[in-house]
Structure 1
């Protein structure tokens, strides 16, 4: 992790940023399924942060080093020591470190399905600043079965990492010190409810273009923005063929005209340019409001534009294909679930009158209330009685979306009772594979199902609007070991720690 100068656009001065290996975005790491990889993450950043730090929020006090980092491989099934726990941070040269698992060499077993993952900073209290400064990159797991499908590959398979930025006149990154017209009692700097930039950045460039041949391309798209959602369309009117989501390939391709991608989500798509005339320019557009989906619409001349494709003639023949069947996605059966948990999305005010976002009316530092047992399948009902969509991410697992059920928000807010007002809505076709981040719609109970495996230990779940995650929409959960004996022994044979009995 280094500080360096990066040029986002030819009309802008160079910008001081942070990045892995001195790159924006960080290097794309490619591995083979089952190939165990060890990565040594080195904090070589200066002692002073690029951006304003609010020292009034948890984990970010005056006694903490201003610059601290920890890397989370988002979507990976990893041991807790390599999971990028927000309290496992470390400063430059490991001079100071957090209270949990702090070390620099992480082990990634890569025993899960092929997928588009990504790695990014996750330090407690300053994740929003570190990721915005540039600490993000893509991580791809492959295997022979997927390679044999004949999908576009090589130079015709391209990662697209989408972010949004704002800049000062001198080219430096702009991030607000506080909200507009803050009350006098607000700290300065002060955390804000969410940040959106004035410029859309793809692979480190503002509104870039890509020359594409008259053929099929595979794009692995990641939304790495702090808060901004993207509702994407091609202005040529042609569709996307979605082949994958967060956790890998869908069972079958899905043809859609529009895709909405929340912060942290990934979509794997095929775009066929074979019928587009040479010399045509095709724009990938954005119509998502911010906050999503009730706020201001994007400016069609700026934040409504993501990037441009410029069609050139094809070199040789296009032998790639999109098979009608991609992989088997074995669905969980609801009857297999050991328990159902309710996770509420809540908004309150802190002692300064600032908005604070929480889960189950708890702050991050409150006692752990979710203790799934190793190997158990659980259903989590995410209850959103607010007005915004929250992308909820659960570490360690890939889950499946069961449905979204509308409910009477007024009755819930008055009496705390859930009264459903309509039939369950199944996940969208592009959401019917493996997911690690789900869009929890307002006025809906979003149900997800997952197996807590293959590791025990402490992890977190949170909203992936980074300003919400930092304050305070993140909670810890602990996967506990499964008892190996029958009732009567109060110790686990694996770890000799007190734990719940399997007979429960």
Structure 2
């Protein structure tokens, strides 16, 4: 996608129509930075937080009316939780939302047919945590905990943070309704810091900033638009969509914002919090930047890039050096799309240098502590990604030819190393997420799809393809490519219990591309 002229002001005499992104001027609002959550008190030496889900009004753009959203602590995105490695905290997630949803609910989906209409459960994405605090889809609860799901165990979650420093995020995960609750605004950042990171001279404080990217669409009155029906129309209304693509880009809650920066190095923690869309990010005319971290924390060494692909739920941390760009304005683009959704935000290098930039881009970041080798795996699982028509002739996404409520088949044993091979039989890539653990991507390998569909045999048609440089760190979400067998390796070390694995396209996760996983003790 070439650099193109971008509208920054409204044409004279025109009026903003939120349903028409062509009328919404770009780079008008300053990029907001989510506030940091503060604990209320200590319980047995551990910080205790209460974060309440509320309906609130949010202004996505200064020329648009305020929009009804749902936010953690009445904010969108929610407040950022910051902790240190191995620092245990307690969080009570409280539901004070209305009893009626303002987005269209498909009541044919599991968990959506009966009361309560509004149910929530918060999942800390990427966390090594006991299952009772993981945010299991059926551990949902309604307003004031009046009703709870069948796996609900506790009101107060404990996060032990026994893992590398990393950018995690929290979001709703309630069965059959995740796509709506996250789209409504229930998402926020969770940052773990560790000693290794603190010793590095990375940009910090005001120069260490989050970029939470989502796509949204709006109605003429400024309210959020989410489609009600599939195409062709299903015989039921509302009906789940197989995907959602918005027509405006939102960063930290603002449509096409701008960020004024100093001529120095900045660290950006990027989260793709969109329902469906994957992005390939580019800055300005394709100038270089450095990736320093993936989902699970620091890479072994920085990776110099000019574009950065990022899947739904993926996180990536980059350093951009603006020191030689004084006075320049650089647009962050999404090269996957043209037009309005090909534009994310703009960096304006217009602030004076506050003080000498002493930050560095280290030659090495994290010693490679991975001893996981494919040949040493205790178990290899072959897992298909496919679809079938449901009773209304809608596409129902499935994992390993099973639905959510089918008996659990993935039962990793504590202490075992497993390789999971995602066999994508569809014509669309899927971001696959596994709860509890971080994994390493081994490789992708092309295979004969027709042969596999005939007799289930994997006939490879080419050699293994090494993971891209930007995905060689610890990951919890991996892109399972079209026509490929995508292999990941992980070791289960603690926390037996009930977890899940699923596609992180939220419309797929809700129907029915999610499966239970039971981590068990060795007998």
Q: Distance in 1 between matches of 2:124 and 2:334?
A: 27
Q: Distance in 2 between matches of 1:432 and 1:306?
A: 25
TM-score under structure 1 length normalisation: 0.92
| 1:418 positional shift | 1.0
Gaps of 5+ in 1: 289-297, 484-504
Q: Distance in 2 between matches of 1:103 and 1:306?
A: 39
Structural mapping, 1:262-411, within 5 Å: 262-278=311-327, 280-288=328-336, 298-300=337-339, 302-312=340-350, 313-331=352-370, 332-411=372-451
| 1:145 positional shift | 2.1
- Give the 3-state SS of the residue equivalent to 2:261 in structure 1: strand
**1:255-307 alpha-carbon deviations (Å, 9 max, x no partner):** 011111000000010001111132x210000122xxxxxxxxx332x110000
- Give the 3-state SS of the residue equivalent to 2:384 in structure 1: strand
Q: Distance in 2 between matches of 1:181 and 1:326?
A: 51
Equivalent residues, number: 469
Partner residue of 1:457 out of 482, 489, 497: 497
Task: Check whether the contact 1:161–1:203 (CA below 8 A) recurs between aligned residues.
Answer: yes
Partner residue of 2:280 out of 217, 220, 231: 231
Task: Check whether the contact 1:385–1:412 (CA below 8 A) recurs between aligned residues.
Answer: no
1:122 match: 173
Task: Check whether the contact 1:403–1:448 (CA below 8 A) recurs between aligned residues.
Answer: yes
Task: Check whether the contact 1:164–1:201 (CA below 8 A) recurs between aligned residues.
Answer: yes
1:196 match: 245
| 1:181 positional shift | 4.2
| 1:143 positional shift | 1.5
| 1:31 positional shift | 0.1
Task: Check whether the contact 2:449–2:483 (CA below 8 A) recurs between aligned residues.
Answer: yes
**Is the deviation greater in 403-412 or in 112-121?**
403-412
2:152 match: 101
| 1:482 positional shift | 1.4
1:494 match: none
Q: Distance in 1 between matches of 2:469 and 2:421?
A: 20
**Is the deviation greater in 151-160 or in 405-414?**
405-414
| 1:392 positional shift | 0.1
Q: Distance in 1 between matches of 2:448 and 2:323?
A: 48
Q: Distance in 1 between matches of 2:57 and 2:465?
A: 47
Gaps of 5+ in 2: 1-52
Task: Check whether the contact 1:252–1:325 (CA below 8 A) recurs between aligned residues.
Answer: yes
| 1:239 positional shift | 1.2
| 1:415 positional shift | 2.8
1:211 and 2:260 matched: yes
1:46 and 2:94 matched: no
1:92 and 2:143 matched: yes
- Give the 3-state SS of the residue equivalent to 1:178 in structure 2: coil
Q: Distance in 1 between matches of 2:334 and 2:453?
A: 33
Q: Distance in 1 between matches of 2:433 and 2:232?
A: 32
**1:332-379 alpha-carbon deviations (Å, 9 max, x no partner):** 122321110011001110000000000000000101111111121100
| 1:29 positional shift | 0.6
Task: Check whether the contact 1:90–1:103 (CA below 8 A) recurs between aligned residues.
Answer: no
1:138 and 2:182 matched: no
Partner residue of 2:107 out of 55, 65, 75: 55
2:225 match: 174
2:201 match: 150
1:426 and 2:475 matched: no
Task: Check whether the contact 2:141–2:152 (CA below 8 A) recurs between aligned residues.
Answer: no
Q: Distance in 1 between matches of 2:289 and 2:402?
A: 40
**1:32-79 alpha-carbon deviations (Å, 9 max, x no partner):** 001000001000101010101000011111x23110000000000000
Q: Distance in 2 between matches of 1:171 and 1:181?
A: 27
Q: Distance in 1 between matches of 2:148 and 2:316?
A: 35
- Give the 3-state SS of the residue equivalent to 1:195 in structure 2: coil
Q: Distance in 2 between matches of 1:442 and 1:388?
A: 6
| 1:411 positional shift | 1.7
Partner residue of 1:20 out of 61, 64, 72: 72
RMSD: 0.9
**Is the deviation greater in 1-10 or in 412-421?**
412-421
Task: Check whether the contact 1:31–1:140 (CA below 8 A) recurs between aligned residues.
Answer: yes
Runs of 4+ in 1 over 4 A off after TM superposition: none
Q: Distance in 1 between matches of 2:195 and 2:412?
A: 34
Task: Check whether the contact 2:429–2:480 (CA below 8 A) recurs between aligned residues.
Answer: yes
**Is the deviation greater in 324-333 or in 16-25?**
324-333
**1:385-422 alpha-carbon deviations (Å, 9 max, x no partner):** 21111000000000000000111112222332211011
**1:204-248 alpha-carbon deviations (Å, 9 max, x no partner):** 000000001100000000000000111111123211200000000
Q: Distance in 1 between matches of 2:118 and 2:376?
A: 45
**Is the deviation greater in 94-103 or in 21-30?**
94-103
TM-score under structure 2 length normalisation: 0.89
Q: Distance in 2 between matches of 1:230 and 1:206?
A: 16
Q: Distance in 2 between matches of 1:27 and 1:19?
A: 9
- Give the 3-state SS of the residue equivalent to 2:68 in structure 1: strand
